[in-house]
Structure 1
Amino acid sequence: MSEQTITGKTYDTKLLRRMARYMRPYQGIFWASVILTILLAAVAPALPMLVEYTLDKYILQSDSSGLTWMLIAMMALLIGQTIIRYYHTLTTNVLGQNVIRDIRIEVFNHITGLRLKYFDNTPIGKLITRTISDLETISNIFSQGLIQIIGDLLQMVVILAVMFYTDWKLTLIVLVPMPLMIWATYIFKEAMKSAFIDVRNWVSNLNTFLQEHISGMAIIQYFSREEQEMRKFEKINRNHRDAHIRANWYFSIFFPVLEIILAIATGLLVWYGSKQILANVISPGVVVAFLMYINMIFRPIRELIDKFNTLQMGMVSAERIFDVLDTDEHTPNNGTIASGNVIGEIAFEHVWFAYNEEKWVLKDVSFQVRRGETLALVGATGAGKSSTINILSRFYEIQRGSILLDGRDIRDYELNYLRKHIATVLQDVFLFADTIFNNITLHNPSISLEQVIKASKDVGAYDFIMQLPGGFDYQVQERGATLSSGQAQLISFIRALVHDPAILILDEATSSIDTETELLIQAAIDKMMVGRTAIVIAHRLSTIQKADKIIVFDKGEIKEMGTHSELLSIDGHYRKLYELQFNSLGI
């Protein structure tokens, strides 16, 4: 569902039923809110009735003693209403926050299980909006929306019942302007619907723009694009402002209209009520009580508009959230193999793969890697090297052929179990804003500090880590900004090593570091590869000369396969690549 197709219905029973599912664990809080809502509605007419009784029976009769007791009763009533309203507000907010916590956890778990293809096509800022801003809006449905609307409507029904019981003619006079209010409310609701959708869309666009540009700030500054990007931001921000102004403009018209309607109702009450008092048909206390009733009817109507708007915004946000939850972009996880040893023998059998079905990235790829062997993948950018390792870990699904691990189709393995035995070290190392220890273990409680220390020594990173303030407790800044590329890469090697994988994948792991660090990392790689199946992607052919097998990719096809010496002996793609890198340097 696209953002443009989201309607933002005020009443969407399907969405409400779906959200009600999240309230089931909190039925006690929910029913407490309902009971308190009923109590508030029940006691709402009590104060005007007391005022009417006090005016007619005590003030007009000059009974000061009775007046004192009635004032005490009024104070007790107000205190009781305040206590009920306090607990009502508390329970509805507690209910809303508990529901939102559960939905946010479900959304996050759902997002983490989505295929990488989904993230290729979905801006990260949009997902941030869904999990934070939209969810906060949904919480208002519970704390300020649905239950409050029911309470206000119930209060209006109770008050109208009391008014009709007290004097039905006077009640009908007061309700003369009501059709005008209903019509104005309908017009306002329809106008606000589109305004709220626009507001939510532009909030999402703002978040997406900011997330992308803050993450890519270095590129903006390298190429002096600050002014141009600022103009783009100004345009989005201007549209966001205009959407809010349009929504507030409707408010600025609607509420004065309500005040005029209230004034008309009050004028009719005073006019007709005064005539009835002079004719001794009703008492002055009835007119005073009706003046209070009018405010108690029209005030909830004004508040109902706000609450309906809150409910409507919540519905828009709920549609967006459930649009994410309904996204069927998960990798099928029907495998049954979740135990036993993984040896690490890999076989690709006539594999065809495309990110979209119009363009094949891999074409009829077949090869085998035995346990403990090192396979190197070389070729030009876009030849299919990274795609090969992505489909091995099932980040993407192949369209034809099969991939075998230890003689079994990788789809026979439980997904987490499969990925647990494959460790990947990427060229672009991602480090979280956390300690070095947590960046290595990824909060896996089964990995001890002793294991991390041993792995860091094996990789050759122990000395530089201990020189940092706090050692393994050193707080890494976002994306490892306070570490060099080589240091970040070494941490990624430790991360791979402590998880003890059967298969190690190195994707351009040494392409962006200096020669000295590369020698250190190359020594670490040699240690890590012992006893493990390894797949290495590298542009620097010097790093793969010891590989047991080298595959040369070109436009998604395997052009050559063999050892370094075998491939050099033929006049083919590999030899051309080798001569381009070494002969041009006079080697």
Structure 2
Amino acid sequence: MARNTYDKDEELLQEFNWSYYKRLGVYIVPYKKALLKTLAVIIFANIAGMIGPYFTKLAIDEAIPNKDIKQLMVLGIIFLLSLIAIGMSMRYRIQSITEIGQDVLKDMRSSIFVHLQKLPFSYFDNRPHGKILIRVVNYINTLSDLLSNGLINLISDIFSVIITLVVMFMIDVKLTLYSLILLPVLFVLVMFIKKLQRKAYQELSNKQSNMNAYIHESISGIKVTQSFAREEESFENFSKISNAYRDSYMKAVKVQFLLWPAVQNISVITTSLIYFVGIRGLGVDVSTGTLIAFIGYINNFWNPVINIGNFYNSLITATAYLERIFETMDVEPDIKDLPGAIEMPEIKGKVTFEDVVFRYEEGRNILDGINFTVNPGESIALVGPTGAGKTTVINLLSRFYDVNEGEVKVDDINVRDVTLESLRTQMGVMLQDTFVFSGTILENIRYGKLDASEEEVMEAAKVVRAHDFIKDLKDGYHTVVEERGSTLSAGQRQLISFARALLADPKILILDEATSSIDTKTEELLQIGLQQLLKGRTSFIIAHRLSTIKNSDKIFYIDGGKVAEAGNHDALMAERGLYHHLYQSQYDLLKVD
């Protein structure tokens, strides 16, 4: 297996800027009332937390020396009530913040999923699907701690630091200044660790993405791996990627855990300094109660500082993932509704290509000035050599891509002038690689028309000759199929797709090699249903099996980016040109078989 996709580290297209957190705030705004309520509870708990050290001072300096039992009891009861209030507030905070955080994550995950559905085919063609999946699931999950425990706790801790500092300055200005003497050291350490940590977690996100992509690819290709007995080679590749992930994780964690001991050590050194200054009386004169109370407030000061440090850790960690999330959400869809786009009226079925030029890359036109008109209800077959542009024609009609020059019109309306939804909901596209979702066969067919009754589903299946094999299954239409329809044959999946398309009743139907996986006997039966499926609607059929398209109203032979030949089967055979040669070659092969 080539290793230039899943094992390639992704490069960020732009540097991180703090406005990303402003964008994150957009997801928090809907929950501002709940946040304010929680913040009020936290502020109440912080104020209650200020009581303890001050009451300790009163007890040591006044109640105990004066043997005032009553005052001591009152102080104790109030202190106990404050602890109960703090405990209840903490319980409420944890529950509330967790709910808000998970709601925000759900909204973000919904936003990126909706955005992914708008991106062009080229976005998914150029990236391993595992690397896309990890952004929707894992990367957003890493924000859980930041949102559930971080943001509002940060506000709480900042408020706690401010209140504590005010009280400390009120008690003794000099002792407070001694307490802050090591803050510049902490600031320098934070700036140093920040650079190391962001780089380490960017590397970790790359290795995590690589591993996820390889696992996804390996599971998708497990049949090939087992068929060629390449399990050992596959495991070796996995081990290399897994070891790289482990190494980057250990490096990131080592850097992350530099901050906590730094803050903890500075806190301990500061506490020791205050004891030393207080006992030695170096420029300060404090009572024992005041010193003990002050130490309590120092703990009240440094505990939130440690929490802020932990939040900063989470912030830098989350930054590496948030960059990837917003990078994905900033990818602009190539194909989108133009300003002032109108709703497509009910389609009658006329299709026109006027001087259409299309290229995937500069300098190489896939379609080069192609012109044709299809009348409502006509069935058009597109044939020609591989790479001639047959699939490109239907991709432009469905507006999966936009033309470089010329116009594609439906009922004389440029497809670029209408909304994508109003256009595509009136079109049906069936591909060679038919996708069947996990669920029942009934649900899969009903995907074409979500409000269809069971009788309508069965009628559609009968028309396309899918009913016979479905009724023989264990649970009939309620038989559950696995992901991608792995429990069904390729032909059965395509018959289900035919039934789905018929149920949707599209005005324009596109069949791109849609009968390639159906055996000859089934195809003969299907031809009857197919004629019913095509009846009354404009259709475009791409098929290498020419027997499928003999009855088409027109056959376009695409070659060199143009319609080289056009006409029905008999007319083109009489011309003895490109189509005749193609048909005769296939006929000769069948005779050899």
2:305 counterpart of 1:297: no
Cross-structure match for 2:12: 4
2:364 counterpart of 1:359: yes
Which of 416, 425, 448 is equivalent to 2:421? 416
Distance in 1 (CA, whole Å) between partners of 2:172 and 2:250 is 44
Q: Which runs of 4+ in 1 moved over 6 A?
A: none
Matches within 5 A, 1:82-481: 82-276=87-281, 281-334=285-338, 337-338=342-343, 340-442=345-447, 444-481=449-486
Which deviations, in whole Å up to 9, do the C-alpha atoms of 1:438-461 show, x marking residues without a partner? 212228443222211211111122
Q: Call closer, same or farther: CA 1:280–1:330 in 2, change over 3 Å.
A: closer
CA contact (8 A) 2:513 2:542 kept: yes
Cross-structure match for 2:4: none
CA contact (8 A) 2:202 2:321 kept: no
Distance in 2 (CA, whole Å) between partners of 1:251 and 1:117 is 37
Q: Call closer, same or farther: CA 1:114–1:50 in 2, change over 3 Å.
A: same
Q: What is the DSSP-based 3-state SS (H/G/I as helix, E as strand, rest coil) of the residue aligned with 2:557?
A: strand
With structure 1 as the length reference, what TM-score do the two structures score?
Answer: 0.92
Structure 2: runs of 5 or more not aligned: 1-9
Which deviations, in whole Å up to 9, do the C-alpha atoms of 1:40-96 show, x marking residues without a partner? 333332211122222223344444444333322222111111122222233333332
Which deviations, in whole Å up to 9, do the C-alpha atoms of 1:168-221 show, x marking residues without a partner? 222233333333222222222222121122222222222222222222222333
Q: What is the DSSP-based 3-state SS (H/G/I as helix, E as strand, rest coil) of the residue aligned with 1:586?
A: helix
2:529 counterpart of 1:529: no
Cross-structure match for 2:7: none
Cross-structure match for 2:570: 565
Which deviations, in whole Å up to 9, do the C-alpha atoms of 1:230-287 show, x marking residues without a partner? 333223222222222112212444433334323322222222222349x993222222
CA contact (8 A) 1:195 1:246 kept: yes
- Give, in angstroms, the shift of residue 164 of structure 1: 1.8
CA contact (8 A) 2:55 2:75 kept: yes
Distance in 1 (CA, whole Å) between partners of 2:45 and 2:407 is 66
Distance in 1 (CA, whole Å) between partners of 2:361 and 2:128 is 18
Q: Call closer, same or farther: CA 1:6–1:280 in 2, change over 3 Å.
A: closer
Which of 20, 39, 63 is equivalent to 1:58? 63
Distance in 2 (CA, whole Å) between partners of 1:459 and 1:103 is 41
Distance in 1 (CA, whole Å) between partners of 2:259 and 2:163 is 26
Q: Call closer, same or farther: CA 1:271–1:3 in 2, change over 3 Å.
A: same
Q: Call closer, same or farther: CA 1:585–1:182 in 2, change over 3 Å.
A: closer
Which deviations, in whole Å up to 9, do the C-alpha atoms of 1:13-63 show, x marking residues without a partner? x22332222333222112213323433333332211122222223344444
- Give, in angstroms, the shift of residue 480 of structure 1: 0.2
Aligned residues: 582
Q: AA paired with 2:550?
A: Q
Distance in 2 (CA, whole Å) between partners of 1:487 and 1:383 is 29
Which of 11, 28, 32 is equivalent to 1:27? 32
Greater mean alpha carbon deviation, residues 207-216 or residues 427-436: 207-216
Q: Call closer, same or farther: CA 1:413–1:182 in 2, change over 3 Å.
A: closer
Distance in 2 (CA, whole Å) between partners of 1:92 and 1:363 is 59
Q: Call closer, same or farther: CA 1:151–1:15 in 2, change over 3 Å.
A: same
Cross-structure match for 2:20: 15
Over the matched positions of the two proteins, sequence identity in percent amounts to: 36
- Give, in angstroms, the shift of residue 477 of structure 1: 0.7
Distance in 2 (CA, whole Å) between partners of 1:276 and 1:491 is 88
Which deviations, in whole Å up to 9, do the C-alpha atoms of 1:364-392 show, x marking residues without a partner? 22222222222111122212111111111
Structure 1: runs of 5 or more not aligned: none
Q: AA paired with 1:294?
A: I
Q: What is the DSSP-based 3-state SS (H/G/I as helix, E as strand, rest coil) of the residue aligned with 2:235?
A: helix
Distance in 1 (CA, whole Å) between partners of 2:79 and 2:58 is 11
Question: What is the RMSD computed on CA atoms of the aligned residues?
Answer: 2.4
CA contact (8 A) 1:199 1:243 kept: yes
Q: Call closer, same or farther: CA 1:136–1:522 in 2, change over 3 Å.
A: same
Q: AA paired with 2:317?
A: M
With structure 2 as the length reference, what TM-score do the two structures score?
Answer: 0.92
Q: Call closer, same or farther: CA 1:216–1:280 in 2, change over 3 Å.
A: closer
Greater mean alpha carbon deviation, residues 30-39 or residues 72-81: 30-39
Q: AA paired with 1:458?
A: V
Which deviations, in whole Å up to 9, do the C-alpha atoms of 1:400-426 show, x marking residues without a partner? 111121222222333212112211121
Q: What is the DSSP-based 3-state SS (H/G/I as helix, E as strand, rest coil) of the residue aligned with 2:331?
A: coil
Q: Call closer, same or farther: CA 1:46–1:5 in 2, change over 3 Å.
A: farther
Cross-structure match for 1:577: 582
Greater mean alpha carbon deviation, residues 549-558 or residues 220-229: 220-229
